[in-house]
Amino acid sequence: MSDSSVATPPTPTKPHATKYTRNQPYISRVLTNDRLTGPESEKETLHIELDLEDGMIYTPGDAVGIIPTNREQQVEENLSALGFNGTERVLDHYKVEISLHEALTTRLGIGKLARGSLNQYAKLFGENVPEGLKKLQGQENKAIAEEYVWGREFVDLVKEFPGAVTDPQQLFNVLQRLTPRMYSIASSQAAHPNEVHTTVRVVRYNAHGAERQGVCSGHMGERAPVDASLPIFLHENNAFRLPEDTDAPVIMIGPGTGIAPFRAFLEHRQALGEKGPMWLFFGEQRRVSDFLYEQQFARMQAEGVLTKLDTAFSRDQGKKVYVQDRMQENASELYDWLERGAYFYVCGDASRMAKDVETALLDVIARGSNGTLEHASEYLAAMKKAKRYQRDVY
């Protein structure tokens, strides 16, 4: 990882002024691709550092968009199932003529199968839609279609119902675009002037008898070594920002890769010498293999940048313990911090963790104020209005 020495952050002429966008990305160089999790971990989590051109500006809380490519093996499998050789010419979304091989590599989403693709694919059969595919059509069959697409890729559909695609150009109506993936930025530009860092968990799983992987995380895990090129752009997120008052206390809840923006927050306050108290809650499976950025956080604690650190390693004891449990254990002090004007941040999984954390926070407020949950809801609503409760969930 890069040295975190103090540097003066670049001064943009205009906030986030950059010529690079998702349609015109910057071709960045991979500076670092390190595995953060131990060899015995069930997870493969990476720390990625990418170079930036002068004038590319971001603020802690922002995201970096990474534009992946599909795996060669996956592309070849699709070409074989479709009965094409890849040299066929097609027009991409911008009417630029390219080979079908390039289209399947860099333009079209051939990974996770979308329900919309089922309907578009069925249309190509005209009057002769196979019976099995018919059963997946229409609003009344939505639940069955959702179940069918789970864990499947486009190639599975083609193999099960072959012969629909007669012209490779039709694929642009059937498949979604290969889109950038957004990752929370894990660095401060005040500490790393021409770099952007992020934290990526490589998604791998087996479904329907085949090994699958996340399109972008798989790219990071297998095809983004040091010095490789990656198309990227910066994405502003004004809804997730450190307080303007640099003395304001900050509470950060970031299990797993949700730690990323809080590493950025901590680095930023450290680099600029800001003194506001900072309390981090981090959760993962096992301390020995999954404590992301452990040494850096230990240094920050020793230097007084990180005031308090509470960890929840769910598999290290018989009863699973999560960040929301640590919040409950520290309810009295947490409430004191809120009463002192602390800003409360949550980053990570939206489906369960963020909801559980909000429930725990309401309970902490109710207990601390000797109030009801109704009172706690009003208290939290006031925090949201004052932008003292911010979430970056996905």
| DSSP result, 328-358 | HHTHHHHHHHHHTT-EEEEEE-TTTHHHHHH
- The arrangement of secondary structure in 250-393, i.e. its CATH architecture, is 3-Layer(aba) Sandwich (3.40)
Cβ atoms 313, 300 nearer than 8 A: no
Q: What's the whole-number mean pLDDT along residues 25-48? A: 97
Q: How confident is the model at residue 214, as a pLDDT? A: 95
| Token representation of residue 371 | 């109030």
Q: Is the pTM of this model over 0.85?
A: yes
**Residue 377 CB neighbours (<10 A):** 14
CATH number listed for the domain at residues 72-174? 1.20.990.10
> pLDDT higher for 1 or 359?
359
- Any idea what DSSP says for residue 180? -
Q: What's the whole-number mean pLDDT along residues 334-350? A: 97
C-alpha closest to that of 219 among 73, 69, 113 = 69
Chain region(s) in the chain for CATH 3.40.50.80: 250-393
Q: What is the pLDDT of residues 308-324, one digit of tens each?
A: 999 999 999 999 999 99
Q: What is the pLDDT of residues 187-204, one digit of tens each?
A: 999 999 999 999 999 999
Chain region(s) in the chain for CATH 2.40.30.10: 26-68+180-235
Q: What's the whole-number mean pLDDT along residues 12-38? A: 83
What CATH homologous superfamily does 26-68+180-235 map to?
A: Translation factors (2.40.30.10)
Q: How confident is the model at residue 18, as a pLDDT? A: 64
C-alpha span between 145 and 293 (Å, rounded)? 41
The overall average pLDDT reported for the chain is 94
pLDDT band, very low/low/confident/very high, at 19 (cuts 50, 70, 90): confident
Strand partners, 30: 50
Chain region(s) in the chain for CATH 1.20.990.10: 72-174
Alpha helices in the chain (DSSP H): 72-82, 100-102, 115-123, 131-134, 142-149, 154-160, 171-174, 215-222, 260-272, 287-290, 294-302, 323-329, 331-339, 353-368, 373-385
